[in-house]
Structure 1
Amino acid sequence: MRGSFTLSLLSAALGASAALTESNLKTHVDVLALGSSFNPVKAAYWTGYPHHRRTPFAVSPDGSTAYLAYLDASGSDVHVEQLDPTTFEATGTTVTVSGGQEAGGLVAHNDGFALLTNEAMPSGTTNAPPSDTPVPVLHRYTNGEQTWKTWLGGPDVHTSDGLSASPDMNGDLVYSESAGLYGAYFVVTDYSGDASGHFGDSIEYVADNGTLVTIAGASSSWGCSHNTGIAFEAADEPPYASICAEDQGAIWLNTKTQGMTNDGVKISNENTTNGASGEPMGGMSGSYSGLARFADSARYIFAWVSRGAIDVTENTWMGDGYTHVNNRTNPRNVALALFSDKYTKVGAQATSTVGAEDGDSQITWVTSGSNDCSNAHVATFGNSSALITWEEISDPICDYLAMGCRGQFAGTYFQQVDADGSKVGDAFSSTDIYVSGDMVTMSDGRICWPYVSMEWDLSQAVYGDDSSEYTKKMSFACMSPNGSSANTTTAATTKASSSASVAATSAAAVTHVAASASTQSVKTTQSVKTTQSAEAVSVSSAAAISVTSA
């Protein structure tokens, strides 16, 4: 979530529109001068394949100010730039959050911002994580000055459930003005208790004054085992809408459960191998702009990448209701799901029937081709339609059952779908525009996001930092819902996606409007040994709301 959003401004104005084309896409190349160097590449877990390093982006409710957060190229200190939401040029003084090790989420307010990051606790802190392992923390700044700082892990948070840290800041930050609460959903590793040494995830809520609030049925200290992807969006009251991918074989809508218990809503069956599930929400430096809410409603849309599922078998370690599957395809395709509210999937859930040959019949596929798809994101145009984006690799080399692929970058694709999930026109692509930060719906109907103008090479792994890739410039792109965007500075290349868009099932969903001016069946083999996680799964809950002082 990028800030406080007004849901009613554009719902009437943004009705059904003509299909999007390259004329709807406008770029602002290298328009924002950064005060410090930024490394735009993040190596993926296990494979080392390049990912875009996330740059969180948010616009204030009154539309007057935007903020962009990025990690210093040194690997320490997160910088937050204030910018004009129309020109995307810098307008204020840069704020530096010293010691931050990743920009994990950003919310804009009329008087400042809130930033989710991870940082080492002060030297001498009792029961701090070992070896200066960073801990998630929420910072609130007002008019350029820190208002409060609230730790979301470490020695004073859910102590009875085990203490946690976040060496990798995968997750997101959202805010609901009606609830007056920030929500943060992020990956954790415990360093005490029964889950010590294992990875899971945590959902924490913080009040406007910086107080950490534990809410029964909404907060969670340990939800999804070895979380492999997060999608999170605000609601009018907690619990906020949440989705997790885990290491046991599924993607869950876990708003109700905050975990992976089988009374949750199973969105998809996914092959899981060596603690991975195909990077469905982007993998390292992903887990943002994957779940969006349609304006003036309680409906949501979710986009992810999947290899599909066949040959459903029992997950004997987890027990009844849990399953394993094989991949349907070697490359990944883009899928979508719709939710009538934060608890309810439109259409059937993924099957848990042992022996079923087809484990993905419930999926609405956006693509169905032989290219590999990754980096899928979604945002909504008011309440009538949504924009789904993803990247493709042509002739992909997919060496791993449940990881990413490598090969020739074939472009970033853009597909409009209506509120029922059906495609509107054909996808088109650009080879010099990427999505590497939050997609924000502006008050005039545009969807805008940041990216680094660079040559994007997906052909091989990256190891260590390459200072030649560092930059002090940030670009922005905006998609207009109607008509053409004048003064386009970088032309998009129109091309039908080789992963041809397919029609979707009915339903509806929603993203917040920022008040701003602005099947083939293929079984694959590999040499990597499959291991199952022998990790207990538990969902924390409290009998009542308890309050911890910030």
Structure 2
Amino acid sequence: MRGTFILFFLSVLCASAAVTESNLKSHVDVLALDHSFNPVKAAYWTGYPHHRRTPFAVSPNGKTAYIAYLDASETDVHVQEVNPTTFKATGTTVTISGGKEAGGLVAHDDGFALLTNEAMPSGTANSPPSDTPVAVLYRYTNGKKTWKTWLGGPGVHTSDGLSASPDMNGDLVYSYTAEKYGAYFVVTDYSGDASGHYGDSVQYVSKTGTLETISGASSSWGCSHNTGIALEVAPNPPFMSICAEDQGAIWLNSKTQGMTNDGVKISNENTTNGASGEPMGGMSGSYSALARFAKTSRYIFAWVSRGAVDITENTWMGDGYTHVTNRTNERNVAISLFTNKYDKVGAQASSVVGAEDGDAQVTWITSGSNDCSNAHAATFSNESALVTWEEISNPTCDYIAMGCRGTFAGSYFQQVSHDGSKMGSAIKSEEIYVAGDMVTISDGRLCWPYVSMTWDLSQAVGWGLTVANTTSMSFACMNLNA
């Protein structure tokens, strides 16, 4: 954990100068993996390549880090202990047998907690059909399993409908104040009124592994056909949460845990065929899009959007819900700031039917004809943050609410102030990507994992695009004190 002096020192640095190319450092192929890993996951509907998430976390004392990754066989999640200075392997790799995706990771001084999904044991009464995976939380202490808690399936919010998680799009955080884990993830119900439909769930678990239902914080079903999740810790539940749904908006839903219009509408988005432009990364996304400014109550959120014009009423949902048309064919990077987990800085997105402008509240980080994707945000300190994204030049955007394909034009890294203003110009790299959680290391660096490879965004996975497995992981860091 960073001390007061370090936070003050970093705040001064952030306020005085913007990062440059010299602040970005890479550690290529530094971590040897004990098992093979495939770094690409095909996107929903389009099959376009996405980085397969590799969750990354650092312990509070700053001495230990962990990285989680899915075996190339697509069954078994491996968690490797890592030195947070050298990024080389330490200790012994832990394998969670049967895990289908690495969905979220919390590092403790004595181990880790992992959010994953797996099929329930054969013969389990009222389990999902066809061995459909269910969300589950593991706690390991000193390399040994301490407990395992199912977050869906039989016995979990039974009266609202039983749920499974065939795709582990979600995240995991932990509050040392409340001594609770918060997990936010996509679900599909297999009983009850929502059977066969997709939504999302917020679940809380005590430090001893007890699943707790907390009024005003837990949720069995929140945002319909969730197309993006953002979760960040707060001292006490409910934790800070944001969702993108299939009816036309991105909501700050810390208070509502859903998409009700008494929440805070962050953005109007065109939604078609259950998608809204992959605002928070789509398949294998939903990580490091929302960050807290150090120990303050303030947050920053980053996403990609086509903008919004021509607001019309969403007659199926009723008053207060809207549809919009895309302003642009390509997506640009946007940010939003929050004074606390309930309140947005500035105006909400408009719900005025008939208005031509539905994105006046947006703070844009990019503009232009390139398509942007894979947006993330992380904070250096109380005073500044780093927003990152990827660009495609001459994009082909065949789908009105999905991703695009084209020539990879680089990853970009833009420092922004706590007031949302850009500090200097964006840094470009064609070799470094963001494929795992962006973490503030105790020495002030922002670091994240990625696979060193030729990043091809020109076509769908399997349609001429094949990606080799790897047994090496790279790391990159942005250091204010370079």
Separation in structure 1 between the aligned mates of residue 391 and residue 243 of structure 2, nearest angstrom: 23
Matched to 1:104, the amino acid is G
Instruction: State whether residues 7 and 296 of structure 1, in contact with CA within 8 Å, keep that contact through their aligned partners in structure 2.
Output: no
CA distance change for structure 1 residues 9 and 46 in 2, over 3 Å: closer, same or farther?
farther
Q: How many residues align?
A: 479
- Equivalent residue for 1:130? 129
For the aligned residue pairs, the C-alpha RMSD in angstroms reads 1.1
Measure how far apart 1:6 and its partner are.
5.0
Separation in structure 2 between the aligned mates of residue 223 and residue 444 of structure 1, nearest angstrom: 38
9-18 or 439-448, larger mean C-alpha shift: 9-18
Instruction: State whether residues 295 and 383 of structure 1, in contact with CA within 8 Å, keep that contact through their aligned partners in structure 2.
Output: yes
- Equivalent residue for 1:173? 172
Separation in structure 1 between the aligned mates of residue 251 and residue 225 of structure 2, nearest angstrom: 13
Measure how far apart 1:442 and its partner are.
1.0
Instruction: State whether residues 40 and 467 of structure 2, in contact with CA within 8 Å, keep that contact through their aligned partners in structure 1.
Output: no
Aligned to 1:13, the other structure's residue is in SS state: helix
What percentage of residue pairs aligned between the two structures are identical?
A: 78
Measure how far apart 1:468 and its partner are.
5.1
1:210-221 pair list within 5 angstroms = 210-221=209-220
1:250-265 pair list within 5 angstroms = 250-265=249-264
Instruction: State whether residues 350 and 358 of structure 2, in contact with CA within 8 Å, keep that contact through their aligned partners in structure 1.
Output: yes
Separation in structure 1 between the aligned mates of residue 464 and residue 182 of structure 2, nearest angstrom: 32
1:27-38 pair list within 5 angstroms = 27-38=26-37
Instruction: State whether residues 228 and 279 of structure 1, in contact with CA within 8 Å, keep that contact through their aligned partners in structure 2.
Output: yes
Separation in structure 2 between the aligned mates of residue 438 and residue 62 of structure 1, nearest angstrom: 18
1:14-93 pair list within 5 angstroms = 14-15=10-11, 16-93=15-92
Measure how far apart 1:467 and its partner are.
7.2
Separation in structure 1 between the aligned mates of residue 3 and residue 247 of structure 2, nearest angstrom: 36
Separation in structure 1 between the aligned mates of residue 2 and residue 467 of structure 2, nearest angstrom: 41
Aligned to 2:47, the other structure's residue is in SS state: coil
Instruction: State whether residues 66 and 81 of structure 2, in contact with CA within 8 Å, keep that contact through their aligned partners in structure 1.
Output: yes
Separation in structure 2 between the aligned mates of residue 448 and residue 134 of structure 1, nearest angstrom: 31
Instruction: State whether residues 243 and 253 of structure 1, in contact with CA within 8 Å, keep that contact through their aligned partners in structure 2.
Output: yes
17-26 or 199-208, larger mean C-alpha shift: 17-26
Measure how far apart 1:464 and its partner are.
8.9
Instruction: State whether residues 431 and 452 of structure 2, in contact with CA within 8 Å, keep that contact through their aligned partners in structure 1.
Output: yes
Matched to 2:10, the amino acid is L
Measure how far apart 1:10 and its partner are.
3.2
- Equivalent residue for 1:418? 417
CA distance change for structure 1 residues 253 and 372 in 2, over 3 Å: closer, same or farther?
same
- Equivalent residue for 1:199? 198
Instruction: State whether residues 119 and 134 of structure 1, in contact with CA within 8 Å, keep that contact through their aligned partners in structure 2.
Output: yes
Tell me, yes or no, if structure 1 residue 96 matches structure 2 residue 95: yes
Instruction: State whether residues 8 and 295 of structure 1, in contact with CA within 8 Å, keep that contact through their aligned partners in structure 2.
Output: no
- Equivalent residue for 1:114? 113
Measure how far apart 1:444 and its partner are.
1.3
Q: Which runs of 5+ in 1 are unaligned?
A: 485-550
Tell me, yes or no, if structure 1 residue 11 matches structure 2 residue 7: yes
CA distance change for structure 1 residues 273 and 468 in 2, over 3 Å: closer, same or farther?
closer
Tell me, yes or no, if structure 1 residue 392 matches structure 2 residue 391: yes
Instruction: State whether residues 459 and 465 of structure 2, in contact with CA within 8 Å, keep that contact through their aligned partners in structure 1.
Output: no
Matched to 1:213, the amino acid is E
> TM-score, normalised on structure 2?
0.98
Instruction: State whether residues 310 and 356 of structure 2, in contact with CA within 8 Å, keep that contact through their aligned partners in structure 1.
Output: yes
Matched to 1:268, the amino acid is S
- Equivalent residue for 2:446? 447
Q: Which runs of 5+ in 2 are unaligned?
A: none
Matched to 1:12, the amino acid is F
Measure how far apart 1:19 and its partner are.
1.2
Matched to 2:162, the amino acid is L
Runs of 4+ in 1 over 4 A off after TM superposition: 5-9, 464-468
| 1:276-315 deviation line (CA, Å, top 9, x unaligned) | 0000000000000000000131000000000000000000
Separation in structure 2 between the aligned mates of residue 167 and residue 380 of structure 1, nearest angstrom: 31
Separation in structure 2 between the aligned mates of residue 341 and residue 465 of structure 1, nearest angstrom: 46
CA distance change for structure 1 residues 465 and 285 in 2, over 3 Å: closer, same or farther?
farther
